[in-house]
Structure 1
């Protein structure tokens, strides 16, 4: 009989013993004075207790201990290692090495990050340098926005995002994001979707603190151009879900919907692992066509009995005069790393053009 499959690999296993030994072998071949025994002792002792990010950081620290020479000499060795790693996340430790040990060498370190980001993104590692000298760092990033490699161009936007997930927050840019606008303007017509998506996410970060600044910027764009409209809408996704009047107007959803609507949830009582189906019926009550953005809001019951709401995008549609729209959304109710379900009554609301127009509920046993 075939053996039962074991547990799925964890992300932290990107840095496992085999990976560390392979890195040690490559570094020994590049730099014969590299002390593989010191490196392996530092990364393997206590390995199981370390998270993914701790393993990445420990790899950079161990290289610093085991590789002789100045910071610049070590970076030149790591530049030879970079193309041999073959794993974009693993290669981030090269950027982390620069961020931790290169802060006294601003120009050299920034150039090293430009080199390393092609192998593993430097979006986290560049942030200490922005904190150290925002004006000079952003000037460098603006130059990178015109670099021939899309990964370097993306770094110009992604690395300067005020609220980059997992990254240290750039509080000065949270307070006033306008110093990055020149970078975003330089990248908004980029040929790479990879880069344009970063521009949209950067702008979405800013909407959380300065929605009017973002809307003012986007109103100066030609949103008839498809790629600019895509960036703008993706940038305003949080505002649209919140029913922000200015964002809704920008995309033609500013008028209050003239509809009658009904929302049902079935089954109304279920357990984890069972499927929930939401059904919405929307009927126009006017003799003019309407542009509608339809979302639904789930009020999740938390451990202490209170609830928090989360808005989900459903669809955008042009509803003809006296037209009818039937929508179905089905999903299995299960826990995620980022969301745990608790027993209780969960309300669901239907939102159209920022207005909540109908509701239903289901109970998790």
Structure 2
């Protein structure tokens, strides 16, 4: 995270000071200048907040005055990059100070103007949290904006679980509230916009799976060439969770299958290490079978329980009587996003949402213990 913190550094502060000084003649930016020497040991978010507090102290104490300065600064092409984040936060703070005025709507317009210079997706969350319906009434209009980055902001800024951003509980409580935005953008000509739409839909799937499947079905009924890909990406979590409607919609209905237990290349995995396994799927039914093949690792936790994670393995089509062997090597390495604990783990296969053949194996941290070369695991 240290490298991320340096996205706002003393050089960025000095550039922002120069740009705003030119856009705000007569205003002293002493507080902003002082932040250049106070960034050490601060996270990126903390640096953003520090600069925003300085801007609030240096600039006019009302939204309209500060917004005019920020708009003049847009004439400078160097007014871009991570210096934009504290600027957007400052605008939101001032606009929310007098929410009953037109500052609220003008701030949304300003964020749309600023977002091509970095992104305004973090600051916009505060306006959404303050008055969701009022904000969405403006944001839905962005879906026809000529700048694709503003169209992307409409989808990305309103995601339920936008990374790095504050949560807006009303979005999760009212999953239908943002669907008009997605309906307008799922066929957008720009890939970055469509990807945001898919990620937004996947966020909604956490708490409104049936509504998400119904939305995806509507899109597939009026598709363009990119719609199937958008739907697959938007339903990826439901597919892993074996949601019947998602599986059916993506063409993976129930099938008559025989699945062999996984054959492990070892029953003990030393950290760091890998577990290789293979297994066979056979279509024992009378019709062709389309397969979505996954595997599940049930990781041992420090408290003795297990936590599962589903991993995609592939798709396939088998005719009646046909079989296919699948193989995979799964890595076990300590990461910032997953801490491995020694103990009994379980590997489980998942085909078209049905779980098969849970098989135990051991993860150890003691490097003195020899590897077990047995090619079978212990089914449970």
Whether 2:87 is the aligned partner of 1:94: answer yes
Q: TM-score, normalised by structure 1?
A: 0.89
**Partner residue in 1 for 2:361:** 362
**Partner residue in 1 for 2:59:** 67
For 1:182, what is the secondary structure of its paired residue?
helix
Change (3 A) 1:348 1:79: farther
Question: Which of 140, 144, 148 does residue 146 from structure 1 map onto?
Answer: 144
Change (3 A) 1:225 1:26: closer
The CA distance in 1 between the partners of 2:278 and 2:359, in whole Å, is 10
**Partner residue in 2 for 1:220:** 218
Deviates more, 1:187-196 or 1:262-271: 262-271
**Partner residue in 1 for 2:12:** 19
The CA distance in 2 between the partners of 1:306 and 1:114, in whole Å, is 47
Shift, 1:153, TM fit = 0.5
**Partner residue in 2 for 1:5:** none
Question: Which of 25, 32, 37 does residue 39 from structure 1 map onto?
Answer: 32
Whether contact under 8 Å (1:334, 1:341) holds in the other structure is: yes
The CA distance in 2 between the partners of 1:273 and 1:17, in whole Å, is 39
Shift, 1:144, TM fit = 0.4
- Residues 29-52 of structure 1: per-residue CA shift (max 9 Å, x gap): 44344434422324533x223111
**Partner residue in 1 for 2:368:** none
Shift, 1:205, TM fit = 1.6
- Flag structure 2 segments of 5+ consecutive residues without an equivalent: 365-380
Whether contact under 8 Å (1:206, 1:214) holds in the other structure is: yes
- Residues 196-234 of structure 1: per-residue CA shift (max 9 Å, x gap): 111111111222111111222222233564422222221
Question: Which of 141, 163, 166 does residue 168 from structure 1 map onto?
Answer: 166
Whether contact under 8 Å (2:260, 2:279) holds in the other structure is: yes
Whether contact under 8 Å (2:300, 2:345) holds in the other structure is: yes
How many pairs were matched up? 356
Shift, 1:296, TM fit = 1.0
**Partner residue in 1 for 2:78:** 84
The CA distance in 2 between the partners of 1:63 and 1:129, in whole Å, is 19
The CA distance in 2 between the partners of 1:43 and 1:64, in whole Å, is 16
Whether contact under 8 Å (2:17, 2:33) holds in the other structure is: yes
Q: TM-score, normalised by structure 2?
A: 0.86
The CA distance in 2 between the partners of 1:19 and 1:149, in whole Å, is 26
Question: Which of 190, 196, 200 does residue 188 from structure 2 map onto?
Answer: 190
Shift, 1:320, TM fit = 2.3
For 1:221, what is the secondary structure of its paired residue?
helix
Question: Which of 121, 128, 138 does residue 119 from structure 2 map onto?
Answer: 121
**Partner residue in 2 for 1:274:** 273
Change (3 A) 1:300 1:208: same
The CA distance in 2 between the partners of 1:128 and 1:134, in whole Å, is 10
